[in-house]
């Protein structure tokens, strides 16, 4: 099965093959950067929430003693 996959030709969209020049290329690159920005924002928010919960739990332990 693995050797069969290696003999198959790879398929790519025409934009990937041609290199996307001009306004379409700029738009595609900006779309990728915007999606990366959203990803960083969501993961950063999640990490911030985890730190918030850890700090809140630590302060709760201190108040109990």
Confidence band of 43 (pLDDT split at 50, 70, 90): very high
Q: Answer whether 28's CB lies under 8 Å from 15's CB.
A: yes
pLDDT of amino acid 51:
97
pLDDT in tens, 5-32: 566 666 766 666 666 678 888 888 899 9
Higher pLDDT, 5 or 55: 55
Residue 60 structure tokens: 């709760």
Greater confidence (23 vs 39) lies with: 39
| Structural domain range at position 8 | 2-64
pTM surpassing 0.75?
no
Averaged pLDDT, 39-58: 96
- For the chain, the domain total comes to 1
């Amino acid at each position: 099965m693995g050797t069969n996959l290696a003999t198959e030709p790879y398929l790519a969209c025409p934009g990937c093959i041609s290199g996307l020049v001009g306004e379409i290329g700029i738009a595609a690159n900006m779309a990728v950067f915007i999606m990366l920005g959203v990803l960083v924002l969501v993961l950063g928010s999640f990490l911030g929430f985890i730190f918030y919960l850890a700090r809140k739990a630590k302060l709760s332990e201190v108040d109990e003693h």
